[in-house]
Amino acid sequence: MITERKPKNIFTQGPIAASFIADSIQKHDTKTNIGGHSIFLGQVRADVIEGSKVVAIEYTAYEEMALEKMHQIREAIFAKYPLVCMHVHHSLGKIAAGEICLFVFTSSEHRKAAIDACTETVERIKAELPIWGKEIFEDESYQWKENK
């Protein structure tokens, strides 16, 4: 049976708090068919570029398109892996170095599906979602982030 899933909003203004992640884990204690969780956390890195240090990344997105695309990715991942659930959160706005900007959380009966689905989801988010990051330096100059 295919369950219809509605597009979810993945965007959060500001950083993703560690307490939010902890609560999200806690909420799964009633889903006792789960045997393995996989979590990816993206953190803003203080890159040094030509002597200037990145202090924050300001994220923007083409939100409507990103949510439609994320819905397609979610459907494809659920079709490919036997997941119990998946949660994705991405920050918008200014996120300081050291703060969490991406939280991907997959759960399945056995570990392999959760791990592989988490990895593939992260890769697809980076490659396919219309999101941009402005790397802001200490002197408030900036450059546009490029994904590697």
Partner 1 sequence: MPVQVIVFGQLTDIMGNSPVTIENAVDTTDLIDQLNQRYPALVNKPYIIAVDKQIVTGHTTLSGNNTVALLPPFAGG
Interface ranges with partner 1 (CB under 8 A):
42, 59-62, 64-66, 68, 90, 101-102, 122, 125-134, 144-147
Contact between residue 72 and residue 148 where contact means Cβ atoms under 8 Å apart: no
State CA 12 to chain mean position distance: 10
Shortest distance, position 16 Cβ to partner 1, whole Å? 12
Shortest distance, position 133 Cβ to partner 1, whole Å? 5
Helix, strand, coil distribution of the chain in percent, nearest 5 = 35, 40, 30
Q: Supply φ then ψ for residue 23, to 5 degrees.
A: -65, -40
Comparison of 21 and 34: residue with beta carbon closer to partner 1: 21
Shortest distance, position 32 Cβ to partner 1, whole Å? 31
Comparison of 83 and 88: residue with beta carbon closer to partner 1: 88
Contact between residue 96 and residue 44 where contact means Cβ atoms under 8 Å apart: yes
Comparison of 48 and 65: residue with beta carbon closer to partner 1: 65
Shortest distance, position 90 Cβ to partner 1, whole Å? 6
Q: Supply φ then ψ for residue 140, to 5 degrees.
A: 75, 5
